[in-house]
Amino acid sequence: AEAMESDRVHARAVIMRDAKNGEDAPTSERGWLDWLADCGVTAISGIDTRAIVRHIRDAGAMRGGIFPASMDEVEAMGRVEAEPQMAGADLASTVTPPEPVILDGPGPHIVGLDTGIKLSIVRQLRERGCRVTLLPCRSGPEEVLALDPDLVFLANGPGDPAALDHVVGTVRELVGKKPVFGICLGHQLLCRAVGLETFKLPFGHRGANHPVKDLATGKIEITSQNHGFAVVGPGGEQRMESDEPVRWETDFGTAELSHLNLYDRTVEGLRLLDVPGGTVQYHPEAGPGPHDARYLFDRFLELAR
């Protein structure tokens, strides 16, 4: 439970090449397969997972399913095709808390719109002494401002940012009134709130080995990523040609590219220059590591002081 990033398992299935029902982690209370079964997660092993990865790399992200061998292929495909596409999916509303969560602390008051926040992010804020209030993501700007936050935090979470107009509208009313900082989905939501666009990647960024360049320092960080959408560049481009901190003209003044993905040259972060705010697309908290980017919590908390 200590390693959990959520209150429950959200994966619907696990596909593995080999499966061992071991208790390798020091905190394990039961075997891996026993744990999956207890959580109600379907699992299958003996699969050529590299072949699946290569197929997705070439054909793009897609829906899929795990079925018993006795099921007719046509029926199985019909069930897969009946599943909703990720584009246009408001999944954040399915994971947001029903009521506010309040965590006291002596430091700055951080109010977050919880679209599916990882507990590692909360831990990083709490380790820095922050008082944290997490609101349901459908909370309006009046509810946020009534709490008088020192900084508004936009969390990570699942789904398509273009389907979250209710959150974007709230954020738009907060920009310029309070400092705003977003991670992952929160990065995309803040970008949309200031008038920028997002697009669906052919296949998402998944894993803990993505090199990202901090354009202010020239430092290259190895980052943890888990997203399927990205922000469109200032000229409408999906891939940035230059390593320079190019700028957008937004509805709230100028924004500057702060971080760049060195795998596919997509936008990994920006700074708002005329109002207090900024974002990163990747996960600086990175529960299991790498921890190259945890300094970003300190950088953005400076906005709250």
Residue 88: φ, ψ to 5°? 85, 5
Number of C-beta neighbours around residue 5 at 10 A: 17
The number of residues making up the chain comes to: 305
* Active-site residue, 137 included: no
**Selected catalytic residue, list 187, 227, 259, 283:** 283
Strand segments (E) across the chain:
13-15, 42-44, 101-103, 109-114, 131-136, 151-154, 180-183, 198-214, 220-231, 247-250, 253-261, 267-272, 277-280
CA count, 13 A, side-chain hemisphere, 72: 3
**Selected catalytic residue, list 221, 256, 268, 285:** 285
- 163 within 8 A of 198, measured Cβ to Cβ: no
* Active-site residue, 256 included: no
**Selected catalytic residue, list 184, 191, 221, 256:** 184
* Active-site residue, 184 included: yes
CA distance 164 to 222: 29
- 67 within 8 A of 15, measured Cβ to Cβ: no
Number of C-beta neighbours around residue 169 at 10 A: 13
Tell me the catalytic residues. 184, 283, 285
